[in-house]
Amino acid sequence: MKTSLETFDIELELLIEAILSKYQFDFRQYARSSLRRRLIHALTKFNVPSVTSLQEKVLHEKDFFPKLLAYLTVNTTELFRDPESWKSMIQNVFPYLATFPSIKIWIAGCSTGEEIVTLSILLKEAGFKKYVIYATDINPMNLELASKSIYSSHMIPEAQKNYKLAGGKGTLSEYFESAYDSVKFSPDLLKNVVFSDHSLSTDTVFSEMHLISCRNVLIYFERKLQDRVFNLFNDSLVRGGFLTLGSKETLTFSTIASQYAVTDSHNKIYQKK
Amino acid sequence: MTAKKNPLKIVAIGASAGGISALHKILPAFSSPSHAVVVVIHLPPEGPNLLPSLFGHECSYKVKEAESGETIEAQTIYVAPPGYHLSAEPAGTLSISNEEEINFSRPSIDVLFESVAFAYKKSAMGILLTGANHDGAQGLKTISEMGGKTLVQNLKDAEFPTMPESAMKIMKPDAIFTLEEMATFIRGLK
């Protein structure tokens, strides 16, 4: 007889299979410890006694899965997070982008959009006009939130500090309006952004990119899926195109490493040879 | 995806206030050929992780910052990167995450201990050291419930006894050791 803790693991694997069969969302290559924590969180949130009860809802309640999806992925993100890496991008990547008449950028796993706002502001201040940002996420609810660019005003002091550290030229408050506890960033910042749901575990290349930014997404994937994603990025980048990752992610041990030059090892910026 | 695929045994160590000097006393004691060590210590999230260089030269195990997706190898001490949770995976790998703080901490000792309990079951050992908060107590309980071994630092020996004490309130550890006793025990691991 298994303990209830071990039974939890069995239920987790069954739920992953149920989600795959019913909704074609593939979590099989997601790190289990994080999924387990997300599910424990979801049990409390939806007030159900077991993962099996969640599975029942996933299979039989029409609108339940999108709600659960919000709990299965980690959406921690900040405006101007890791400012040093943005500063490095301005110095090392922007001059390259400026050599093209028009630019395509992919933000993979854009979550609730803070990174899109960050990059849009920096591109604007650097004088870029002709560019498209493809912002993708597996969760349509995240894309919906990202397209509104409304954030809690609690984020602002930290964001203002990091905006300066990243090399922001003006004042951050030029870009948003405040109302109660929220700020809304100017819709003008998102006019070159195309939102699309895209799964890094099952979907394929959709355009040729000059820059791909994928931060703190790969840490939740097992090696095999990490490799899939790296190959997907490799197939999507033009020669000379750049890939940037989160501060604790690296291209170094991947199967495509030899095809890239390290532009900034500390800030995880790589250029396709 | 079961513990059978993980041939080595894992020791998870959690420490908070007073933890650096405590780790100096026990990390160098590891010499067994079959163990790997994962460590969470609460530190400010900014700045580089100095722990690998701090401990590297005095340990016979290799000391490194944990990277997401890497395979856990014996005779290695993996330290959580500041600002990220560290977990052991059933597949025998490590993962890091920037999920929300647990017990006001990221990395959280509970997160590490619970992941190790699930991934390594009977082959897991948890060691909870000095600290001024309650992180790690719940996780140590889970390691025990999954059949693993649990050690806590003797309250009189701990610079800050709150952390080991909160564990002892909710579970019965297999042993309560001073750092010196712990080092002797670790040297005897096969």
Q: What is the pLDDT of residues B156-183, one digit of tens each?
A: 999 999 999 999 999 999 999 999 999 9
**Residue A14: which residues within 8 A CB-CB, separation 6 or more?**
A51, A52, A55
Among candidate residues B23, B2, B58, the one with its CA nearest the CA of residue B159: B23
CB contact under 8 A, A223 and B88: no
> Is the confidence at residue B11, as pLDDT, over 90?
yes
Is A117 in contact with A149 (CB distance < 8 Å)? yes
Whether residue B1 lies within 8 A of chain A, CB to CB, comes out as yes
Q: How far apart are the first and last CA of chain A?
A: 55
Residue B69 gets the label, from left (phi > 0), alpha (psi -120 to 50) or beta, of: left
Taking CA atoms, A215 is separated from A136, A141, A268, in Å, by 12, 19, 10
For position A1, what pLDDT does the model report? Answer: 61
Spatial separation of the C-alpha atoms in residues A123 and A115, rounded to whole Å: 12
Give the torsion through C-alpha atoms of B9, B15, B19, B20, to 10 deg.
50
Percent of chain B residues topping a pLDDT of 90: 79
Nearest to A206 by CA among A132, A139, A271: A132
Q: A76 to chain B nearest CA, in Å? A: 6
pLDDT less than 50: residues of chain A? none
**Which residue do the tokens 């050992």 mark?**
B125
- Distance, in Å, from the CA atom of A51 to the CA atom of A154, rounded to the nearest integer, reads 34
Q: What is the pLDDT of residues B71-104, one digit of tens each?
A: 999 999 999 998 899 999 988 999 999 888 888 8
What local confidence, expressed as pLDDT, does residue A240 receive?
96
What's the confidence (pLDDT) of residue B8? 85
User: Which residues are paired to B26 by β-bridges?
Assistant: none
Name the token pair of B20. 């650096």
Q: What's the rounded Cα separation, in Å, for the pair A77 and A215? A: 9
CB B98 to CB A9 under 8 A? no
User: Which residues of chain A are within 8 Å of residue B10 when distances are taken between CB atoms?
Assistant: none
> For position B45, what pLDDT does the model report?
67
Q: Do B68 and A3 touch (CB under 8 A)?
A: no
How many Å lie between the alpha carbon of B99 and the closest alpha carbon of chain A? 6
Give the pLDDT band (50/70/90) at residue B1.
very low
pLDDT value at residue A180? 87
* Per-residue pLDDT, B2: 42
ipTM beyond cut 0.90: no
Q: Using a CB–CB cutoff of 8 Å, tell me whether B107 touches chain A.
A: no
Residue B78 to residue A259: CA distance in whole angstroms? 29
Residue with tokens 């780790």: B23
Mean pLDDT value across chain B: 92
Q: State residue B3's pLDDT score.
A: 42
